[in-house]
Amino acid sequence: MGVASHSYHWMKTGFRPAKSRISRWRVEANRIIKRCESLKKMTDDRLERYSLELRWRAKSGEPLKKILPEAYALARESAWRTLKMEHFPVQLMGGMALFEGGIAEMQTGEGKTLTAVLPAYLRALMGKGCHVITVNDYLAQRDAEIMSPVFNKLGLSVGTITADMEDEDRRTAYACDITYGTANEMGFDFLRDRIRIGASAPGQLEQAISNHKTSGKEPLVQRGNYFALIDEADSVLIDEARTPLIIGLIQPNDAASVNLFRWSNRATHQLESEEDFVYEPKKRSAYLTDQGCRKVLLMPKPSLLDSIDTERIYKQVEQSLVARFGFLKDRDYVVVDEEVVIVDESTGRMMDGRKWQDGLHQSIEAQEHVPVTASTGQAARITVQSFFQNYSYLAGMTGTAALAEKEIRKTYKVSVTSVPTHRPCLRIGDPPRLFKTVQAKRMAVVEEIERIRLKRCPVLVGTPSVEASETLGDLLAMKAIPHQILNAKYHEQEAAIVKKAGEPSRVTIATNMAGRGTDILLTDEVRENGGLHVIATEMHTSARIDRQLIGRSARQGDPGQYQFFLSLEDELLRCLETHQLQRIIESAKADENGELAPSWISFFNNTQSFLEKLHRKQRRDMLKQEKHRIEMFHKMGLDPYLEWTE
């Protein structure tokens, strides 16, 4: 499209950028669909030759923007021939949004996996590698397996990166035209390559890479960071951005350290809140008062602790307090085979191989009476924000980006555009119901499930933690209501459970639904009866995570409903001081069923907004620290990602 066309759509939409883009993309999508008609008569061999011709033109310097209509028509035709799936106009529009370097907000069920084929194919024509990033290994393998025939027919190769792969297999996967994997795996490969290169001044990195290739040393795994396309972009770019990617150096535990972790856990039970220590739930931090320091100093200790300095003992006791009051089993972590495994709040999945830093992970292990693992130092680290800023081109797609548009635009310098749905959304939201106690809420949820099941409609119940999902499951079992539980403990059966969640009267309890990646297919009977009903049993710390759950109902023009059930004992409110929350609960006036007035919803909304601002500030502060660190290392002529150069 030329300048005249841009100006036409700009004026046509009243000089509104997002509307102008949508108008321009819609016209171009219709042209691409017409172009597809001329490809129907081509043989498969001719189609592949056409693709190779486009590749030659791209590598010869012809702008990809000019090649886009032909490339998207080719990809659409290839998808039809291999998968019997054709891109809808809105998916072509989403593909254009992704190519132009933005975040496309596409509602759940609009076919983001198929949409990703378009920009991935076009960018891959340059031969520099294209990384398609998903939220877990299962989705990376599944998407690569499903979509590889589309790329293969056009002469492109597809690889997958998973956690259990050896370096040589990783090199082979990265050498492919399109590589599927997770942000963690690709970020860690980036760091491992920096370690292989060794410390070098950032300005001399290209020279260092060139020298490394000719040095005869172990070759690098990645071949560069050209284009990244991120599925569930807000989950990866926002929710995971508070945790930096760190390659650890194992620091074997000596007997004194193990004793310190276990003794500190016992010591916390002898300390009085407010007198000996102060715990700040909003910041998830604890510190000893002067009186607390004296008490810790005078406590009887094992002789092995004589070799540890007092400052380290104080710090470890504070970490043990954070572990005790700030981290809950079956919410923040689970214990599997005597091992503490972190649970991701935004997706409800186990984060194998990840550990909390500064002795916190060991504190939780001591608390759970499982073997204390070795603590880790830092060989290399990078934040998610910094990692993705290394890519020449960045794009993403998600169902819930609009709520974080300002932060995404400021941090990653990309725009967010909401792509229209293929069919009108028929989702109905019922007014939230609020209760004084969690028990009253759960009983109301069970009654509501019974009512919906009588209509022969399926129910998807969202819970914030493993513990909450299993407690609700026990209540349903007492009422002899058949149900399936999907949480961090049952992630292997995930696809099978989600696939059946749309059957009549089916009850599915899930911890979180971000990036589950499997459609809930409804039967004709269920559509006639009102579709899938979603019950959200709590608000999460971000409205985006709530929307991800709600978005499971009423997909692709199907009917559906959702409703929130909340209580004053919900985990969302644990960020408040204990005495403050207790005072609020005591002052609340409930009816005989324990239900509160609808006006209480503003209290929950305000708490959620507070936490969103707090987490936003934490991400902003971490990014500032990262920038400061990078600038300092630049001045020193050192690689900012290698901690051991400090």
CA atoms within 13 A on the CB side of 520: 35
For residues 176 and 47, membership in a common domain is answered with yes
**Residues forming the annotated binding site for ATP?**
91, 109-113, 519
In the 8-state DSSP scheme, what is residue 176? S
For residues 338 and 267, membership in a common domain is answered with yes
CATH classification of the domain holding 556? 3.40.50.300
For residues 142 and 24, membership in a common domain is answered with yes
Q: Is residue 518 part of a domain?
A: yes
Burial class of residue 164, CB neighbours in 10 A (0-12, 13-18, 19+): exposed
For residues 65 and 99, membership in a common domain is answered with yes
Please report which helix (H) or strand (E) contains residue 395, including its range: strand 393-398
Q: Could you give the angle at which helices 44-59 and 137-153 cross, rounded to 10 degrees?
A: 100
In the 8-state DSSP scheme, what is residue 644? G
Q: Give the number of domains in the chain.
A: 3
pLDDT surpassing 90 at residue 353 = no
Domain residue limits at 24: 3-243+384-418
For residues 469 and 408, membership in a common domain is answered with no
Q: Is residue 604 part of a domain?
A: no
pLDDT surpassing 60 at residue 471 = yes
Q: What's the pLDDT tens digit per position in 586-638?
A: 888 999 989 999 999 999 999 999 988 888 888 888 778 877 877 887 777 76
For residues 156 and 16, membership in a common domain is answered with yes
Residue 201 pLDDT: 47
Residue 344 pLDDT: 72
DSSP sequence for 211-261: HHHHTTSPPPS-----EEEEETHHHHHTGGGGS-EEEEEEEPPPHHHHHHH
Q: In the structure, what pLDDT confidence band is assigned to residue 645 with cuts at 50, 70 and 90?
A: very low
Q: What's the pLDDT tens digit per position in 178-236?
A: 999 999 899 999 988 888 887 554 555 566 666 666 666 778 899 989 999 998 888 78
Q: In the structure, what pLDDT confidence band is assigned to residue 455 with cuts at 50, 70 and 90?
A: very high
State how far the Cα of 369 lies from the Cα of 339, in Å rounded to an integer.
Answer: 10
| Comparison of pLDDT for 109 and 384, the residue scoring more | 384
Q: What average pLDDT does the segment 565-576 reach? A: 89
For residues 413 and 456, membership in a common domain is answered with no
- The percent of residues above 90 in pLDDT, for the chain, comes to 46
pLDDT surpassing 50 at residue 644 = no
Residue in 623, 617, 543 with CA at minimum distance from that of residue 346: 543
| Comparison of pLDDT for 210 and 346, the residue scoring more | 210
For residues 395 and 507, membership in a common domain is answered with no
Q: Is residue 601 part of a domain?
A: no
Residue 66 pLDDT: 94
For residues 9 and 131, membership in a common domain is answered with yes
Q: In the structure, what pLDDT confidence band is assigned to residue 469 with cuts at 50, 70 and 90?
A: confident
Instruction: Please give the angle made by the CA atoms of 255, 256 and 257, to the nearest 5 degrees.
Output: 90
Q: In the structure, what pLDDT confidence band is assigned to residue 1 with cuts at 50, 70 and 90?
A: low
For residues 358 and 231, membership in a common domain is answered with no
For residues 587 and 466, membership in a common domain is answered with yes
Find where tokens 């770019």 sit: 237
Mean pLDDT across the chain, nearest whole number? 86
CATH classification of the domain holding 351? 3.90.1440.10
Q: Is residue 616 part of a domain?
A: no
Q: Is residue 591 part of a domain?
A: yes
Find where tokens 């403990």 sit: 489
Residue 321 pLDDT: 94
pLDDT surpassing 60 at residue 414 = yes
Q: Is residue 615 part of a domain?
A: no
Parallel, antiparallel, or unpaired: how do β-strands 333-336 and 339-342 relate?
antiparallel
Q: In the structure, what pLDDT confidence band is assigned to residue 515 with cuts at 50, 70 and 90?
A: very low
pLDDT surpassing 50 at residue 646 = no
Residue 243 pLDDT: 72
Q: Is residue 481 part of a domain?
A: yes
For residues 453 and 344, membership in a common domain is answered with no
